[in-house]
Structure 1
Amino acid sequence: MRALLLLLALALPAAAQEDQAEPAGPEFTESTGAELRFLDKLTSETGDVALDVGQAAKFGRLVVQLDSCRYPTGNPASDAEAHLTILEETTNTQLFAGWMLASSPALSALDHPRYDVWVLNCVLPEPPAEEPAEDTENE
């Protein structure tokens, strides 16, 4: 009887947890491109580049490819996240493959003694152009 009560006591909290819905995270919208910034720590040279998804750019000995960029649908100006693949050009060695967050570049960063790369933002769609109001006065 004690064993049965113990099993019931252990099963009830687990069942209650299963009934609770997981909180949904923010909904994201895919972008057509992103803006990245590069830093050569040796020469202090910096550069910004805008890439379309699937496009690559060369900076020093790095080749950086933008695989994806997305932003929160409800707040496009907030945190962008981009999936990058970064290669060492001379050896074709993959140095980084993963998501970088614009608001927290150190959270998932390229670990390289000479170069830094970080995401600035995703390319946002242009707002629709407002059409001029038609003049409905006497025609």
Structure 2
Amino acid sequence: MRRAALPFLACAVLAGVLTGCGGEAPEPGPVETDVPESLRVNLPAATPAPAEEAAIGTPLQERVATIGLLNKRNNVSQDLEMSPGETRRVGPVVIRLQSCERTAPWEMPQETGAFVQVMVQESNSDQFRSVFSGWLFKNSPSLNVVEHPIYDVWVKDCAMDFPGEEAEA
């Protein structure tokens, strides 16, 4: 009869240790690391837009996209604020933002999108594998999906202004 109680007692002790004796474990913070030199891209300097296009909205270099990154294994998510041409590494994931756009307030339907490239480091090596390259859309996330078993990447926002928007707000 004593042998039957031992596994139950061991499970109870292990559960107490894992939960910190009733207290909640602190939430781990995401850690950003350096982008490997092989993945850095020297993007050509942006060519100036014609005068008609420059007046339509915020220039590409001044836009800021908010990209969501979720690690499905440990349920840690974070928001990355990036400018076009910027590359960020978070753990084994490298995200490169090439562009972000949103429709003007007077256009329907309202849409927000970003051209993103996602690379993931192969386990136990220094090699990175490209898992996605394309446009992601906020309002239609299933239209183009980052297919990876551990990481999920999506667009949350593209901060840019249009002329006349201040008057509407």
Give the TM-score category using the shorter length.
0.5 to 0.7
SS of equivalent residue, structure 2 residue 143? coil
1:88 correspondence with 2:120: yes
| Aligned residue-pair number | 102
1:113 correspondence with 2:149: yes
Alignment of 1:1-139 (within 5 A): 31=60, 32-75=63-106, 78-89=110-121, 90-125=126-161
1:12 aligns to what? none
Q: CA deviation at 1:56?
A: 1.3
C-alpha change, 1:81 and 1:40, in structure 2 (3 Å) is same
Higher strand share: 1
Q: Check whether the contact 2:112–2:137 (CA below 8 A) recurs between aligned residues.
A: yes
C-alpha change, 1:72 and 1:88, in structure 2 (3 Å) is same
Q: CA deviation at 1:73?
A: 2.0
C-alpha change, 1:115 and 1:126, in structure 2 (3 Å) is same
C-alpha change, 1:126 and 1:38, in structure 2 (3 Å) is same
Percent identical: 27
Task: Provide the rounded CA distance (Å) in 1 between the counterparts of 2:71 and 2:90.
Answer: 9
Q: CA deviation at 1:106?
A: 2.0
Letter in 2 for 1:119: V
User: Which stretches in structure 2 are left out of the alignment for 5+ residues?
Assistant: 1-55
Higher helix share: 2
User: Which stretches in structure 1 are left out of the alignment for 5+ residues?
Assistant: 1-27, 131-139
CA root-mean-square deviation: 2.7
C-alpha change, 1:106 and 1:60, in structure 2 (3 Å) is farther
Q: CA deviation at 1:60?
A: 2.8
Q: Check whether the contact 1:54–1:66 (CA below 8 A) recurs between aligned residues.
A: yes
C-alpha change, 1:60 and 1:36, in structure 2 (3 Å) is same
Q: CA deviation at 1:85?
A: 0.8
Letter in 2 for 1:101: F
State the TM-score, normalized to the length of structure 2.
0.53
State the TM-score, normalized to the length of structure 1.
0.64
Letter in 1 for 2:64: G
